[in-house]
Amino acid sequence: MPELPEVENVRLTLKNILPTGSRFKRITLNRPDLRFPFPEQLAEKLKGQRLLNIDRRAKYLVFETEKYLLLSHLGMTGSWRELVADEVHDHVVWEFESGPTLVFNDPRRFGFISLHLKSETPSHFVDLGPEPLSSEFYAEYLFAISRKKNTPLKSFLLDQKIVAGLGNIYVCEALFLAGLKPARRAQTLKLVESERLVKAIQNILKQAIRAGGSTIRDYKNADGKSGEFQERFRVYGRDGEKCRTCRKPIKLVRQAGRSTYWCPQCQK
C-alpha cells in the first residue's frame, strides 16, 4: 500500500500536470463503487467547481474546490494519471474545461473517494495524529505519548492516532536508522531515544520523497515514473541478507500480522 512518500509524490506530480484553477467539465464514473460506493451526486456536485489546490493529509490526497474537499485514498493499487488511452480499470475520469483529463485506475479496488463540504472536518481526519514532517511532531510529544503505551515500538508508530502517514516500510527503515528494536515497548523509550527516532523518521521520509517513493510492485506516480527508494532499503525486504552496517544477517519476524525487518546487532 502506498505510504506517505508515495502519496506525496503523486500529489506533486498531479500539481505539475493540472493547472491551478482548472474547472471541472465532466466526471465519469465507470462503476458504482470502489472499496465503498461513490458519494451521491458526485458528478453533479463537482461540475463547474474550480480546483484550487491538491494537498495531502496522512495517506490521503485532498483535492480542494471552491465548495468541497474531495479525498482520494489509493488503497493498494490505485493510481492517478493523465489520460492517454482508455483502459479496463479506468474507474473515474475527470474532464476539465481546459487542461488534461485525469483518470483514476484501481485494479484491486481497495481505494476510495469521498466528498466533504469545506465547512466540515472529514471524518477520516478526526482522529489523525500530527504529520511527521510538521512542527507538531517532535521528540517531547512522542516521548509524552509513549509513557502511556505498552505496545511494541513498531505498532506504536503505525498507530495513525499518534503520527499520521507512516506505514510498514518506513517504520522498519526509521527504527533501523534510530537503532531501536521493533519489539521494544514504547514506554521504555528515553527522551534522547525519542529525539533520535523523530530525526530518523523525518530523515527517511525526506529521502524517500526525493527518490520518488518506493516501488515494491506496481506503484507509479502521476507522470508514470516508478520510485527508486527501494534501492536504498537498509532492512525492509532484506531478510537473510547482510546488514550494510554490521554485516550480520537481517532478520524477519511477524508483528500483528505484518512483516518486520530488523538487525539484531544494530537495533537494541
Q: Quick one: which of 180, 257, 225 has its CA closest to 12?
A: 225
Task: Pick the catalytic residue from 3, 6, 8, 193.
Answer: 3
Supply 232's cell numbers.
536504498
DSSP 188-256: G--HHHHHHHHHHHHHHHHHHHHTT---SSS---TTSPPP-GGGG-SSTT-TTSBPTTT-PBPEEEEET
The answer to whether 2 is a known catalytic residue is: yes
Alpha helices in the chain (DSSP H): 4-17, 42-46, 139-146, 153-158, 168-178, 191-210
The answer to whether 3 is a known catalytic residue is: yes
Backbone angles phi and psi of 208, in degrees to 5: -65, -40
The answer to whether 136 is a known catalytic residue is: no
Task: Pick the catalytic residue from 15, 23, 25, 258.
Answer: 258
Structural element, H or E, at residue 258 = strand 258-262
Task: Pick the catalytic residue from 2, 5, 152, 182.
Answer: 2
The answer to whether 140 is a known catalytic residue is: no
Task: Pick the catalytic residue from 45, 56, 59, 234.
Answer: 59
Structural element, H or E, at residue 93 = strand 90-96
Q: Quick one: which of 131, 176, 130, 134 has its CA closest to 153?
A: 176
User: Which residues are marked as active site?
Assistant: 2-3, 59, 258
